[in-house]
Structure 1
Amino acid sequence: MLPGEKKYPNIFSPIQIGKFWAKNRIKYASTETNFNYSDGFVSEKELAYIEAHSRGGSGIVTTQGAYTDPRGEGQGYMGMMGIWDDKFIPGLKKMADVIHQGDALACLQLMHCGRVGGINLPYTVGPSAIKQRLRRFRPQRKMSIPEVEECIQEHIDGARRAAEAGYEIIEISGIVGYLISNFISKFTNWRSDEYGGDIQGRSAFMRKIVEGIRKEIGPDIALGIRLCGWEMLDDVEGNTEEESLESIKIAEAAGCDYISVTVGWQESLGSVISRDIPMGEWLYVAEKTKKAVKIPVSMAYRLFVPEIPEKAIAEGKLDIWEMCRPQIADPALPNKIKWDRQEDIIPCIACQVCLARLFRDAPVTCTVRPSCGHEGEREWGYYGFPKAEVKRKIIVAGAGIAGLQAACIAAEKGHEVTVYEKTGHIGGQWYYASRNPWGEKSSKYWDDQEFMRWINNTKTQCDKSGVKFALNTPVTKELLEKEKPDSLVIATGAVPEVPDIPGADKPHVVSMFDVFTGKAKLGKNVVILGGSGAAISLALFVVGKMEKEKVKDYNLAMIDPAPRFGWDVNPSYIWRYRLRLRQAKVQQLTYGQAKKITEKGVVADWTIVERKTKEKKQFKNQTVPADTVILSRLVSSKELSYGSFKADTAMIGDCVWVRRGIDAIQDGYRLGMRF
């Protein structure tokens, strides 16, 4: 028995699904990638991606959803697999064979995307024609009874093809706003025929699909379904948790061998899988489901570390630990846990870049794993980099995320790497963003602390590869003349811009970095100059700080020339951040220009656009009260004191130009590949 198997005996115990036994209770969840061809055929890129997951150690590996209809009404993603014709069987069989090579059970998911489908059509279909809440999706058309019955048969035919392709498990998707969930939910099903009405009627579409598939494939193939345990659609009169639970019971009675339970829809107003939800938050939904059914229950969503599902399985709240994003970040996560090498796991930071890419009809990528989508390309080093033919001495100036990533890859390839950092810590902006306004030892949850998981992991990998670190040591001309490196990597990041206005040098004007570390003290009236994602992170930190210190009647304002703040923040987050700022009564002074800073505050011009009427109100030479002014508009650091250094030199990250975290890590990774 391996160390991790002893440490997590429940996770690594086998489990029976139908007539099959999975070697452990880890299930790689169905994940759309946009890697496949637009006509539905499986691509080599997708096969290489799935191979990484099959080799990674999961007991069950699930394919991405395959759409079941030839019209494309069920296709919700540009690179989505098809299963609506026998011509797809050979490619699907290749995928099943790849999964079996890793000694995992192969699970194929059937998915009709319903009101979020029809990616190449001017319309979507569903039980009723309900107005879309998200602008991305097309108008919905009501399905006739013959169309409903045709769709049921298409699911059954898809299941037959999956069985012929060699899959042990067939999974039906009925979550997040896809077609089956559209029928089950009161929000989207206003029908009065046999497919509408009460929860029994609204579940009839799902029930007939399950019963039809079970009859088609017989008892020797396992059958599961993903259903919503709580829709989080109370604001539009969606299903209650009790109604959702009833639909799950109906699925069990119809012939399902397991239930994968989820929370929320794409149209839910609440947060579900983002970083602001503590890990394990939704286990109560799995526990309620477990008490209501006799078949195994699996769950994903904010279960990133093994301690949580291990405890949940031991307590009877869960049977199977399901993961999507944590295994996008590291497909080898199960094996690393099994060997008790958690320090080697590339940690998902719930940034949602993978999801945002899908919504832009682009292939999935990953902030913390640049090799995502390149598993079959040797030069990207997913399975390890070969040692360089010529060993170099490399100096990295800056221990932010770009510098850390470059150092990590270069050292893995056998080079001698030293990272110099002028501050006393590593991680750059991510280090500052992860500071907890309630105190570093506080038990109060602060979502951006998850950035430190990646910083700590990358530092560990650097240490294992022999990277040396010199903190509180800037790179200078004298240091370069002494060390004589073969290559210099400039990764000095970005710094808050000091505006060229009167009063910018006053003592109550401080850097955002000093606010995060507590070096700068805050008054009751605070103005932030800046409106990017960094400024919003700072504003939320200040709000938390004021709450912690119980400061009453404080004022916080943000001033920036942008028409909307947070333009560089992932869509999954920005609307919630803006909501939190409004709830905290933070003034967002758009189209703003600070003109001077006085002891009383910031004199500025700005324009406010009313959200509903779009009416513009201009303000000129107004004083925004401030006893603390925080600089947060970042610009590239130009502190380059390297003299006439002539050797190989490269600049990466924000010191080139200020971008997002994924760009900095990609810069570092690609440069490391080059060495």
Structure 2
Amino acid sequence: MPKISRREFIKGTALAGVSLAASSLLSACAASPQTAEPANPSPQESTKPELAYRQLNPQDESYDAYSGDVSAIFSPITVGKMNLRNRIVKAAAGSDTMPKGAKEMSQNALDYYGMIADGGAALIILETGTLSPFGLTNGSEPSEQGIAEGRKMADRIHQAGAYAGVQFGLGTPMSPQTQVNDYTNEEIKAIVKDCGAAARRLKEAGFDCVEMKGATTDVLNQFLSRSRNFREDEYGAQNNENRVRLFKEIIEEIRTQCGPDFTILTLINAVEECDSALGDNEGYIVLEEAKYLAQQLEQAGADLIQVRVGTPGQEISCWAPDCNHTGIHMDGATGFGTQFNYASHFGGAQDGRHSGAGAFIPLAREIKQVVSLPVGCAGYMDPRTAPDLINQAIQNGDVDLVFMNRALVVDPQLPNKLEAGKRDEIAPCTRCLHCHAKPLGEPEMCRVNATTQFAYTEEMPEGYALLPAETPRKVMVIGSGPAGMEAARIAAQRGHQVTLVEKNSALGGMLGLVAAYKGPHERLGDLKAYLIRQQEIHGVTVVTEKTADLAYIQQEKPDVVLVAAGGQRISKLTGNAQVNVMTVDNFSLNDVQDSVVILGANLQAVDIASYLIAQGKQVTMINPKAKETIDIEQSPWVRKFTLAHLYAQGVKIYNQADCQKVTENGVLIMMNDCGFEKEITCQTVIECWDLEANLELVEAIEAAGIEVHAVGCDTPKNIQSAIHAGNLTARKI
């Protein structure tokens, strides 16, 4: 058999009038040839970008409606030989739960997938990376020990009443986009045989199904593409029959080697759009071609079809259409500074009305019309966020299976809680996309679930389990932002007697105001409500409108104090009669004039810029650091889409520049990379410097001889880091 490891054979798909009186917009601690429609409207239509975006892709914010009926989501369904208990499928995605060079299945991997199965999902589909160390998903034959290690995972999932599957494909989304043309016919025949053998090995290890991926821009999808497949043989793109030949042969080979009692799932692009050059769709898959492909896969022996879209420029848009709605009034953003028109792009078949939720349901409905198989889709199919939307789609026969990943990682118990009517107890996915940062070279994590990527590390050696406190203690938490509320709920769950003290009249720190300025997309209001509800559930004593100074702390006599007071900023400038200067702490839209200079380029500054652009303001940003630091605290995908949008809207960013002073016309800056001074004309200056440590209270408590821990306010950054700090600190006391 030819050696084809150099082509990354079967390598897996996962690489994976309001005052803003706060220290940050997204700080996590408490308060302290293109044919696309232009992003800007013509002058006669509007002068405000927000109006242009709303006119092109109007949003229906009622998609989060909840009537209490989720019966369709939790109705059983038969897929192949699997009798699923409900419609929820854990979609394949990278988990990073297997250490390099692993010789046996890690406890991290068993816990990670086992918890999701315990939480009520009906089918768990693994990525190949978890099993590849044992030779189960590549061209080599595994040892008996390799089969046994794979069986550990299948057995763990089965113990929870779920079915176990594995997704594999040819190459990855990062494969060269014309790799299809390099294969010889002998290599293709070997690939077909090896796919069948890999499925057979997985069946021997106890897995119930495989999902063959022919979507995104993986090599198998390249065979289907007229824009990338230039072969002239029977696997070329001369006609639909040839294009689908390899996919069909793989399905048939899997069926031959695994028999009729093994279930075969498939994943395809139902429609494609050239996001990097809108309108240049020559050779890209259209819906009618996808219908033909679906019919052929059914004939070949497939048991289910999962659909998504294809966007070769930004792979993440293929399965996470919510990223196209990142930022306020950015609905339809491509990540290239242009904008999808959902009425025409993707053949008009992608639903762009719900901030990405349920976006692929119309595609599933179209495919269901031509096959007798169950059809599923991902695309932010989060039944916590959009329960009625998804439940009704299943009831109406538009879609059969709900493929999801992020929301189950945030809260593996989502299915059980939702079925029990405890929607308010589900930790919400906020669509931050920190969890898929690896393809852009950054570490992955979860904003809301602090255990993700940290369980079984030096920071969290106990893993996902929350161990009871050896000695229950009287704990005071100061500050009710995400860091404080997370610390309070974790400490209470461990058995401590917890009091949460907040100087304001309501809990949440900055989350309420952040949600108001960010808009509903990131569901930050849901996060605030969830954390508040957690205080109630776990018996945290809440004290509001109380400043927790040293005298109060000494009076209450806690055993340990956790200070989550948020970071701080120091104002450096004063305004004049012509130019008003404000800080993030006293930012008020009523006082912002038409031309604005923002001093700073952290994620808070970028959030403010996005908000002001949506109000029709002209924005310039002064970044004292290098270009690479802009919005660095944000997840890389959100940063990529947001910055492309800001640049397209005319925002100017001066990097490695310092503000010298406020002038009568604006600000005078020094461009340090070239040594020149430049005056920037503006009417309003907003200081948005990086957050600094806020440790005055911590030091005072420590000096008084009381055990104290800083929770996030020592290294203020973002919501993710604050929740992580709160969780980790509360685990250690």
**1:167 counterpart = 2:207:** yes
Read off the aligned partner of 1:539 and give its amino acid letter.
Answer: A
Equivalent position of 1:54 in the other structure: 117
Conserved? CA contact 2:604–2:688, under 8 Å:
no
Q: Which amino acid aligns with 2:302?
A: C
3-state secondary structure, aligned to 2:217: coil
Superposed CA deviations along residues 629-669 of structure 1, whole A, max 9, x for unmatched, are 3435322335538464311011121x212323322211111
Corresponding position: 1:368 with 2:448? yes
Q: Is the 8 A contact 2:109 2:130 kept in 1?
A: no
The range that moved more, 163-172 or 229-238, is 229-238
The answer for the alignment partner of 1:149 in structure 2 is 189
Is the Cα–Cα contact under 8 Å of residues 33 and 358 in structure 1 kept in the other structure? no
460, 470, 474: which is aligned to 2:533?
460
The 1-side partners of 2:693 and 2:579 are apart by 23
Instruction: Return the letter of the residue paired with 1:208.
Output: E
Q: 1:523 is matched with which residue?
A: 593
In the alignment, what sits opposite 1:181? 221
Q: Is the 8 A contact 2:108 2:463 kept in 1?
A: no
Helix, strand or coil at the partner of 1:225: strand
Matched residue SS, 1:317:
coil
Deviation at 1:266, TM superposition (A): 6.4
Contact 1:127 1:143 in 2 (8 A): yes
1:300 alignment partner, one of 378, 387, 398: 378
Matches within 5 A, 1:266-665: 267-268=313-314, 272-274=321-323, 276=326, 277-304=355-382, 305=384, 306-357=387-438, 360=441, 365-372=445-452, 380=462, 382=464, 384-386=466-468, 388-436=469-517, 446-448=520-522, 450-499=523-572, 501=573, 503=575, 508-515=580-587, 518=588, 521-546=591-616, 554-564=617-627, 565-606=630-671, 619-640=676-697, 642=700, 644-653=703-712, 655-665=713-723
More moved, 575-584 vs 232-241: 232-241
1:674: which partner in 2?
732
Correspondence for 2:70: 8
Aligned-partner residue type, residue 61 of structure 1: I
**What is the distance in 2 between the residues matched to 1:458 and 1:470?**
15
Distance 1:465 1:79 in 2: 42
SS in 2 for 1:665: helix
- Go from structure 1 to structure 2 and tell me whether the alpha carbon gap of 1:203 and 1:46 turns closer, same or farther (over 3 Å shift): same
Give the C-alpha shift of residue 265 in structure 1: 4.5
1:86 pairs with 2:142 = yes
Secondary structure in structure 2 of the residue aligned to 1:93: helix
Rounded to whole Å, the distance in 1 between the matches of 2:214 and 2:368 is 18
Partners of 1:30 and 1:64 within 8 A in 2:
yes
Gaps of 5+ in 1: 69-74, 118-122, 129-141, 438-444, 547-553, 608-615
Q: TM-score, normalised by structure 1?
A: 0.84
**Alpha carbons of 1:502 and 1:390: their partners in 2 closer, same or farther (altered >3 Å)?**
same
2:252 is matched with which residue? 211
The answer to whether the Cα contact below 8 Å between 1:65 and 1:173 also exists between their aligned partners in 2 is: no
Which of residues 267, 271, 274 is equivalent to 1:230? Answer: 271
Alpha-carbon deviation of 1:493? 1.2
* 2:425 alignment partner AA: D
Offset at residue 359 of structure 1 (A): 5.3
User: How far apart are residue 599 of structure 1 and its match?
Assistant: 4.7
Dislocated runs of 4+, deviation >6 Å: 78-81, 374-379, 504-507
Q: 1:33 aligned to 2:95?
A: yes
- The answer to whether the 8 A contact 1:31-1:65 is kept is no
- Cα deviation for residue 334 of structure 1 reads 1.0
Is 483-492 or 640-649 further displaced after alignment? 640-649
Query: 2:599, 2:686 within 8 Å by CA — same for their partners in 1?
Result: yes
Q: Deviations over 1:277-321 (max 9, x none)?
A: 432223222222222322101111212223332111012111011
SS at match of 2:127: strand
* 8 Å Cα contact 1:227-1:262 kept in structure 2: yes
Equivalent-residue separation in structure 2 for 1:626 and 1:667 (angstroms): 39
CA distance in 1, matches of 2:727, 2:689: 27
**AA of the residue aligned to 2:83:** W
Deviations 1:326-372 (A, max 9, x none): 1111111111112111122111112222211465486x542211223
Offset, 1:37: 4.5
Give the secondary-structure state (helix, strand or coil) at the position aligned to 2:369. Answer: helix
- CA–CA distance in 2 between the matches of 1:425 and 1:199? 61
Deviations 1:521-577 (A, max 9, x none): 32111111110111111111112233xxxxxxx421111112222233222121211
- State the Cα distance separating 1:29 from its structure 2 match: 1.1
How far apart, in 2, do the equivalents of 1:201 and 1:47 lie? Answer: 41
Question: In the aligned structure 1, how far is the partner of 2:655 from the partner of 2:135?
Answer: 40
SS of the aligned residue for 2:656 comes to coil
| Equivalent position amino acid for 1:127 in 2 | V
Paired with 1:475 and 1:102, the residues of 2 have a C-alpha distance of 46
- Look up the match of 1:610: none
Tell me by how many angstroms 1:66 deviates.
5.8
Instruction: Find the residue that maps to 1:321 and give its secondary structure.
Output: strand
Kindly report the root-mean-square deviation, in angstroms, between the aligned alpha carbons of the 2 structures: 3.1
Q: Deviations over 1:369-404 (max 9, x none)?
A: 122357789975745542x34332222222222111
- Offset of 1:115 from its aligned partner? 5.7
Structure 1 CA distance for aligned equivalents of residues 439 and 660 of structure 2: 41
Contact 2:123 2:165 (8 Å CA) reproduced? yes
Aligned to 2:697, what secondary structure does the other structure show?
coil
SS of the aligned residue for 2:273 comes to coil
**Counterpart-to-counterpart distance in 2, 1:206 and 1:169:** 17
Q: Does 1:245 align with 2:307?
A: no
Question: Displacement, 1:206?
Answer: 1.0
Does structure 1 conserve the Cα–Cα contact (< 8 Å) formed by 2:87 and 2:122? yes
Q: How many Å separate the matches in 2 of 1:341 and 1:168?
A: 31
Instruction: Kindly provide the amino acid, as one letter, of the partner of residue 345 in structure 1.
Output: I
Distance in 2, matches of 1:507 and 1:400, equals 33
Amino acid at match of 1:222: T
Match of 2:48 in 1: none
Are 2:102 and 1:21 aligned? no
Q: Is contact 1:346-1:454 (8 Å) kept? A: yes
Which structure has more relative contact order (CA 8 Å, sep 6+)? It is 2
How many angstroms does 1:258 deviate by? 0.5
- Residues 10 and 310 of structure 1 are in contact (CA less than 8 Å); yes or no, is this contact kept in structure 2? yes
Deviations 1:250-296 (Å, cap 9, x if unpaired)? 22222111111122356337572436343222322222222232210
| Structure 2 stretches lacking a partner, 5+ long | 1-65, 327-354
Deviations 1:456-501 (A, max 9, x none): 21221112112233334322122123212211111111233312x4
Would the aligned equivalents of 1:603 and 1:621 in 2 still touch at CA under 8 Å? yes
CA contact (8 A) 2:69 2:391 kept: no
**Alignment-mate amino acid for residue 303 of structure 2:** D
Q: Distance in 2 between matches of 1:507 and 1:600?
A: 7
Report how many aligned residue pairs link the two structures.
Answer: 617
CA 1:374–1:174 in 2, change beyond 3 Å: closer, same or farther?
Answer: same
